């Protein structure tokens, strides 16, 4: 099951367990800890008093009381001291121990705040990176729906350089799309790299027999063929695509299944398809990539850079207020 990034108050999330960014006393505090204690009611504090505190990097579990979740997993993140005091190992350990407790209690869904990224001062970009990395590693071998809950937009930071690169690429593509749209005399695109469709020349260079052979192929058939060609297993593919197993089964069993555009793109990313191959796969489902659409341009940006980590792409899409892949 996939990772979902949501912007919300974690105390409002309906799932089996929410994670609390607590302190080692486990007796409440400010930030998300305060919000969780307020929403859960006094019984939570009473149970926390019986736990004997918690070490940095460890996790302990209580009931959820008045919260819309069964459990609260309390973990203590590191205080940021410049990065040379095992802060990273400790933060990784918070995610691992919390996920392992969630699994032990048979949780099917769990919601995390960005641990340590508030009062404890962990740089938000790095805190997010660790969260995504650890959760996605865990999901490779486990079935769980994991929410990363972002309270305010500022808590969610991808690197400034990446934001700048994407913004520049979007600007280039927008200018080109408008230029091409307005000029009647133009016969070639000013930015060759950014054209909306593959040029005839590049199409011709592609393997003709491949194209002819796939004319009658449906989206589902092409997807399954590509999975085989890449030497992947089904589960490697749908997990990498951040797609849930049930949806994949539906696509697998129905050759005429029409996926949403985000699902189709998620599979293209998981399969590490080139831009041309991505366009072919999308076409099977009736979609195209356009330069008048920010979402499409961001996808194109990552494919061109051969960056196929769906979680990184989703972070960027989230930053630019776009729908996310594979959810
Ligand atoms: N829902 C989701 N996320 C939230 C919420 C909320 N209701 N409130 C804040 N956040 P912090 P820490 C985000 O400071 O850095 C407490 O006093 C917030 O924007 O709550 O691990 C404890 O008792 C930030 O991104 O936790 C400890 O003493 C993230 O949650 C200390 O703070 C974590 O911010 C722990 O500090």
Q: Looking at residues 35-47, what average pLDDT do you find?
A: 98
Q: Over the stretch 243-272, which tens digit does the pLDDT of each residue have?
A: 989 999 999 999 999 999 999 999 999 999
Higher per-residue pLDDT: 230 or 203: 230
Determine if ligand 1 sits within 6 Å of the CB of residue 78: no
Determine if ligand 1 sits within 6 Å of the CB of residue 32: yes
Could you tell me the distance, in angstroms and rounded to a whole number, from the CA of residue 313 to the centre of ligand 1? 25
Percent of the chain residues topping a pLDDT of 90: 73
What pLDDT score was predicted for residue 23?
98
Q: Does position 188 have pLDDT exceeding 80, yes or no?
A: no
Q: Does position 148 have pLDDT exceeding 80, yes or no?
A: yes
End-to-end Cα, the chain, rounded Å? 9
Could you tell me the distance, in angstroms and rounded to a whole number, from the CA of residue 35 to the centre of ligand 1? 9
Measured distance CA(314)–CA(318) in Å, rounded: 6
To which residue do tokens 């930053």 refer? 319
Could you tell me the distance, in angstroms and rounded to a whole number, from the CA of residue 40 to the centre of ligand 1? 16
Determine if ligand 1 sits within 6 Å of the CB of residue 117: yes
Say if residues 126 and 117 touch (Cβ distance below 8 Å). Answer: no
Q: Does position 186 have pLDDT exceeding 80, yes or no?
A: no
Q: Looking at residues 142-161, what average pLDDT do you find?
A: 84
What pLDDT score was predicted for residue 288?
95
To which residue do tokens 């293209």 refer? 268
Q: What's the angle, vertex CA 15, arms to CA 12 and CA 20, rounded to 5? A: 65
Determine if ligand 1 sits within 6 Å of the CB of residue 118: yes
Q: Over the stretch 6-17, which tens digit does the pLDDT of each residue have?
A: 889 999 999 999
Ramachandran assignment for 306, one of left (phi > 0), alpha (psi -120 to 50 degrees), beta (any other) = left
User: Hey, what domains does the chain have and what are their CATH numbers?
Assistant: 3-155 (3.40.220.10), 160-182+217-319 (no CATH)
Could you tell me the distance, in angstroms and rounded to a whole number, from the CA of residue 36 to the centre of ligand 1? 10
DSSP 146: E
Say if residues 260 and 246 touch (Cβ distance below 8 Å). Answer: no
Determine if ligand 1 sits within 6 Å of the CB of residue 115: yes
pTM of the predicted structure, to 2 decimals: 0.79
Say if residues 6 and 323 touch (Cβ distance below 8 Å). Answer: no
Q: Looking at residues 182-203, what average pLDDT do you find?
A: 40
Determine if ligand 1 sits within 6 Å of the CB of residue 155: yes
Say if residues 228 and 297 touch (Cβ distance below 8 Å). Answer: no
Q: What is the DSSP string of 11-74?
A: GG--EEEEEEEE-TT-S--SHHHHHHHHHH-HHHHHHHHTTT---TT-EEEEE-TTSSEEEEEE
Which of 25, 31, 38, 76 most suits a substitution to test ligand 1, by most atoms within 8 Å of the C-beta? Answer: 31
Q: Does position 101 have pLDDT exceeding 70, yes or no?
A: yes
Determine if ligand 1 sits within 6 Å of the CB of residue 120: yes
* 27 CB-near residues (< 8 Å, 6+ apart): 45, 48, 49
Taking CA atoms, 234 is separated from 133, 216, 239, 256, in Å, by 21, 22, 8, 18
Determine if ligand 1 sits within 6 Å of the CB of residue 282: no
Determine if ligand 1 sits within 6 Å of the CB of residue 22: yes
Catalytic site includes residue 33: yes
Q: Over the stretch 156-178, which tens digit does the pLDDT of each residue have?
A: 777 888 999 999 999 999 876 66
Q: Name the nearest CA neighbour of 300 among 267, 274, 264, 327.
A: 274
Q: Which of 33, 58, 244, 280 is labelled catalytic?
A: 33
Q: Looking at residues 196-200, what average pLDDT do you find?
A: 42
Could you tell me the distance, in angstroms and rounded to a whole number, from the CA of residue 179 to the centre of ligand 1? 47
Say if residues 53 and 148 touch (Cβ distance below 8 Å). Answer: no
Nearest CA to ligand 1 atom 12: 116
Say if residues 71 and 107 touch (Cβ distance below 8 Å). Answer: yes
Could you tell me the distance, in angstroms and rounded to a whole number, from the CA of residue 226 to the centre of ligand 1? 43
Q: Is 149 helix (H, G, I), strand (E, B) or coil?
A: strand
Measured in residues, the chain has a length of: 327
Nearest atom, ligand 1, residue 25 CA = 23
Q: What is the largest CA-CA distance in the chain?
A: 77
Nearest CA to ligand 1 atom 23: 29
Say if residues 43 and 54 touch (Cβ distance below 8 Å). Answer: no
Higher per-residue pLDDT: 300 or 178: 300
DSSP 79: P
């Amino acid at each position: 099951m996939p990772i979902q990034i949501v912007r919300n108050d974690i105390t409002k999330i309906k799932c089996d367990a929410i994670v609390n960014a607590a302190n080692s006393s486990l007796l409440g505090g400010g930030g998300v800890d305060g919000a969780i204690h307020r929403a859960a009611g006094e019984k939570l504090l009473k149970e926390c008093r019986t736990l004997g505190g918690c070490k940095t990097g460890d996790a302990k579990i209580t009931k959820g009381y008045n919260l819309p979740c069964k459990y609260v997993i309390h973990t203590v993140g590191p205080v940021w001291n410049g990065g040379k005091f095992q802060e990273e190992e400790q933060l990784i350990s918070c995610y691992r121990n919390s996920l392992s407790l969630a699994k032990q209690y048979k949780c099917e869904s769990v919601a995390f705040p960005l641990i340590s990224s508030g009062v404890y001062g962990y740089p938000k970009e790095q805190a997010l990176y660790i969260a995504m990395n650890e959760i996605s590693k865990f999901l490779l071998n486990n079935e769980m729906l994991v929410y990363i809950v972002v309270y305010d937009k500022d808590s969610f930071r991808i690197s400034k350089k990446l934001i700048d690169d994407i913004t520049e690429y979007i600007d280039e593509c927008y200018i080109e799309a408008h230029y091409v749209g307005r000029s009647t005399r133009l016969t070639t695109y000013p930015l060759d790299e950014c054209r909306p469709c593959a040029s005839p020349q590049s199409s011709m260079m592609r393997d003709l027999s491949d194209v002819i052979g796939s004319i009658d192929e449906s989206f589902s058939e092409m997807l399954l063929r590509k999975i085989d060609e890449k030497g992947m297993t089904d589960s490697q593919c749908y997990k990498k695509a951040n797609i849930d197993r049930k949806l994949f089964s539906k696509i697998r069993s129905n050759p005429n299944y029409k996926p949403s555009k985000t699902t189709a793109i998620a599979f293209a990313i998981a399969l590490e398809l080139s831009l041309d191959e991505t366009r072919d796969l999308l076409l099977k489902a009736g979609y195209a990539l356009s330069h008048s659409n920010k979402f499409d341009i961001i996808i194109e940006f990552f494919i061109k850079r051969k960056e196929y980590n769906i979680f990184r792409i989703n972070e960027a899409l989230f930053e630019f207020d776009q729908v996310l892949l594979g959810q």
